[in-house]
Amino acid sequence: MRWNAGVLAGLLIGLVWLSIGLALVVIGRRRARESSADGAGNLGVIGWFLLAVGGLTWFATLLLAVVPGGP
């Protein structure tokens, strides 16, 4: 397994996407619960999308880390 600067940067970027996505999901659910207006929790949809992006970023980064190749 290769742990170079690119792999660590990819993991860090994925972690940022995951943390922002989780924050948006929590905020969106809280707004939807507290408000009776239509579309109050739409921020949570963006959060779920960012969680998916972060998960795919981590998956791709870890996949690149284990693929055999040059040093």
Is 3 exposed, middle or buried (CB count within 10 Å of its CB: 0-12, 13-18, 19+)?
exposed
Q: Give 22-47 pLDDT, tens digit per residue.
A: 999 999 999 888 887 777 778 889 99
What residues contact residue 65 under an 8 Å CB cut-off, 6+ apart? 1, 2, 3, 7
Note the pTM of the prediction, 2 decimals: 0.83
Reported confidence tier of residue 71, pLDDT bands at 50, 70, 90? low
Query: Does the pLDDT value for residue 70 go beyond 70?
Result: no
Q: Where are the domains of the chain?
A: 14-65
